[in-house]
Amino acid sequence: MDVYYAWFNLKEDVPDLQFAEAARAYLERLKEEGQLVAYRITRCKLGLAPPNLREWHITLDFLGLNQLDQAFLAVSERADPIESFHQAVNSKVRDIFFALYRDFPTRIASRGRRSFRADKQPRGVEAGGSIGVVQVTAVGASHPLPRAQATVSFPIT
C-alpha cells in the first residue's frame, strides 16, 4: 500500500465542518471511481503536534503507484464532476505540504542478501560513475503541475 499524506491549515473564515464535508464528498467520489482505496481526515487534538505540522491531516491509501498516478490524471483533467469536488477542497486550505510513504516490507521484498550495498559496487559500474533514472511527478498545492522527467546521478565511490 502506498500512503499519500497531506498536512495543512484551513484558510481564515473557512468553517471546519464545511471543509470536512467538502473533503469527504471529494474523496468519496475518488473512492467510488476506484481512484483510491481508503482515506482518513484528521485534525490535531488539544494542540498536541510538533510545531512544524499543520492542524489538519489527510491520508490517502493507494494499491500502488499506478493507482496513485491514475487518481492524479483524473484530477488533472480539470473536468467535472471531479474538478468541482477538487476546487471545493483546494480553495479552503493553505500552508499545505505532502509526503508519500509505503508499507514496509512489501510482500515482494525478499529477505536476506541485498544486491546493492554502499560498501560494494554494482557489477558493471566503474568507480566514479553513476547510475539511475528517476521519473518525477510534481504536484502543487492549488493545482497539479505538468509532469517532469529528471535524470538523477548517484555517485559510485
What is the DSSP code string of the chain? -EEEEEEEEEPTT--HHHHHHHHHHHHHHHHHTTS-SEEEEEE-STT-S-TTS-SEEEEEEESSHHHHHHHHHHHHT--TTHHHHHHHHHTTEEEEEEEEEE-SS-TTPPPS--S-BTTBPPTT--TT-EE--EEE--B-SSSBPPPEEE---EE--
Per-residue pLDDT of the chain (157 residues; tens, 9 = 90+): 999 999 999 999 999 999 999 999 989 999 999 999 999 999 999 989 998 999 999 999 999 999 999 988 888 887 777 777 778 788 899 999 999 999 998 877 666 666 655 565 555 444 444 444 434 444 444 444 444 444 444 444 4
pLDDT in tens, 91-133: 899 999 999 999 998 877 666 666 655 565 555 444 444 444 4
Q: How much is the pTM? A: 0.66
